[in-house]
Amino acid sequence: MNTNQAEKEVCQFLRAEERLNAELKQGHYDNFFDSEEEWLEYELEKLREYITDYINGKSIEASDLYPIKEFIQHLKFQKLLDRYDDLYSMEMINPNSKEDMELLREVLRNNHFDDEDE
């Protein structure tokens, strides 16, 4: 492969990546979706497709996946810490205080405690 061909491949790669980034950033504005949920499902599917295409690539080696593994571990740990912080905050709430109970309701409304990663 010569330098010109490599430069074309780099440019093609960058265009495709930027197209995906733009779609994910602006897609819910630029595409017709019936609801926010429909957009979120589409967005999740595009991200899963992108990641699995990379993971299932022909030239992938185990060493290529370790940074992804470490990043995922970081995300899982951060989610666990966030959950702990929320639960710890809830324990500090005085059940006899109207303000504290309103705060508790707000925290519960804004956080979805799912156990799918555990």
The number of distinct structural domains making up the chain is 2
In a shared domain, residues 90 and 38: no
In a shared domain, residues 75 and 51: no
- Domain final residue, candidates 28, 60, 92: 60
In a shared domain, residues 74 and 112: yes
CB-based contact 86:107 (threshold 8 Å): yes
pLDDT in tens, 8-19: 999 999 999 999
Q: Is pLDDT at 33 greater than 70 in this prediction?
A: yes
Alpha helix positions (H), 31-93 = 36-55, 62-91
Regarding pTM above 0.85, the answer is no
In a shared domain, residues 53 and 70: no
Q: What letter does residue 105 receive in the DSSP assignment? A: H
Residue in 22, 63, 64 with CA at minimum distance from that of residue 43: 22
Domain range enclosing 114: 61-118
In a shared domain, residues 27 and 11: yes
- Domain final residue, candidates 35, 60, 85: 60
Q: What angle do CA 65, 71, 74 make, to 5 degrees?
A: 145
In a shared domain, residues 13 and 35: yes
**Which pLDDT score is estimated for 51?**
94
Burial of residue 104 (CB within 10 Å: 0-12, 13-18, 19+) is: middle
pLDDT in tens, 41-70: 999 999 999 999 999 998 999 999 999 999
**Which pLDDT score is estimated for 55?**
92
Query: What residue has token string 């030239």?
Result: 59
